[in-house]
Amino acid sequence: MDEFNMNSLTDAAGGNILPLLRPSSRHSVWTGANVEARTGPFERLRGRSVLVALDLENIDRSAANIGRVVDYVRLARALREGIGRNTHLIAIFSRDDNETTAEHFLWEAGWMTYTRPIDVVRNKFGIVKHGNADVAFATVVGAAVTSLEADACVLGTGDGQLAIDVARCVKAIAPSCKTSATLSLPGSTSQRLDARRSDIFAVNLEIGDDVMNRLAIPTDGGRPAAPTPAVNAVPAMAYLSDPAALV
């Protein structure tokens, strides 16, 4: 979907929702990141059949680390405009069983989704939640790149070991996929993914300020304050596009 009205998804208080999964309660913000103005570069991928797979939790938290939140509507548009119409977008993440708000938002924004249910188990230490989606990310990328017969794969994560493992698997199971690339943010990207030094990745795409909003940073240097439950009525989301929260 090329066009999507952000106003079509609101919380109970009428505030527009930004697609950010709930962060940890304690989170510092690094304000010195050198963020590119525009997402890219796309030259090596333009006009090809490309799978773009997002490790959504990694991207969300990477953005939060630098005081920003990704607008996935604008990101989808930037990727399709930069690469071409034969661009396949999929977001992989964990969620609680009954929480589908983020999933529906991403569908409307033009992303396919795969959600891994968060398993809640009881052991001798008490109640434990298992929400890591790395295995799901690897499995979905492998299945998607073969079924779509993509000739390039963009891994949306800054996690070095995860990206390297997945790219190696893609090379082994999908010979038609000639190019592996990354999509990530500054300050949260492993040096092992640097395409200038890698024999695995041909290009590093960076998410730019053209597809992100800035969060207002408290003067005491702490993390941006999350909305109270009375304002943010949607459990899976952390921030609203409230003018007081964005600069």
Query: Which one is predicted more confidently, 87 or 22?
Result: 87
In the prediction, which pLDDT does 229 show?
Answer: 29
In the prediction, which pLDDT does 227 show?
Answer: 34
Q: 69-78, 107-116, 165-174 — which is least confidently predicted?
A: 107-116
Q: Pick from 109, 115, 154: which is nearest to 18 by CA?
A: 109
In the prediction, which pLDDT does 101 show?
Answer: 83
- Residue 198 CB partners (closer than 8 Å, separation 6+): 192
Specify which of 103-107, 129-133, 235-239 reaches the highest per-range mean pLDDT: 103-107
pLDDT digits (tens, 9 = 90+) for 222-235: 555 443 322 222 22
pLDDT digits (tens, 9 = 90+) for 199-217: 999 999 999 999 999 886 6
Quick one: pLDDT band at residue 100, thresholds 50, 70, 90? confident
- Examine the pLDDT at 162 and tell me if it is beyond 70: yes
CATH of domain 40-214: 3.40.50.1010
Query: How remote is the C-alpha of 82 from its chain's centroid?
Result: 17
- Examine the pLDDT at 27 and tell me if it is beyond 60: no
- Residue 208 CB partners (closer than 8 Å, separation 6+): 35, 36, 37, 38, 39, 40, 78
Query: How remote is the C-alpha of 177 from its chain's centroid?
Result: 22
- Domain segments of the chain as ranges: 40-214
Query: Which one is predicted more confidently, 6 or 73?
Result: 73
